[in-house]
Amino acid sequence: MGFAKAAELNHYPGPKHVLELADQLQLSEEQRRKTQAVFEDMNLKAVNLGKQLVEKERVLDSRFAEANISDLELGQLVMEISLLHGKIRAVHLQAHLAERLLLTANQLSLYDALRGYQAAGNQGHHDGH
């Protein structure tokens, strides 16, 4: 499951896809600008967290490679890695929350149609999933 699939399948569009569909959605210049800002903020935060995640995974791997890891350190590293995964997901979901506020009801419906989602009332299901 993607980081923001729960949002995407329940009428909370992602800024990246909104930008890709900007012409079809007939976004105003203000909507484009604000959507770009939401995307850039999300991307900056996600990349930073992703770098931290990669570093923690590297430490975990090196401790195992060196056969030098205790139960305590293992638990700490796994919890830190899990926390970073959660933060990355939250950043993506927060961008979907922000993006929904920028679009009209008609744009939200059109977005769902363009992305191949069923009409309202789909209870979060996507064709082919």
Question: Could you report the per-residue pLDDT of 90-127, keeping only the tens digit for each?
Answer: 999 999 999 999 999 999 999 999 999 865 444 444 44
Distance between CA atoms of residues 36 and 98, nearest Å = 12
> Do 113 and 127 form a contact (C-beta atoms < 8 A)?
no
Which positions ≥6 away from 53 have C-beta within 8 Å?
A: 81, 84, 85, 88
pLDDT, tens only, 51-83: 999 999 999 999 999 999 999 999 999 999 999
User: Of 21, 31, 37, 15, nearest to 104 (Cα)?
Assistant: 31
Which domains does the chain carry?
5-115 (1.20.120)
pLDDT, tens only, 27-55: 999 999 999 999 999 999 999 999 999 99
Q: What is the pTM of this model?
A: 0.85
- Confidence label for 2 from pLDDT (cuts 50, 70 and 90): confident
Burial class (CB in 10 A: 0-12, 13-18, 19+), 16: middle
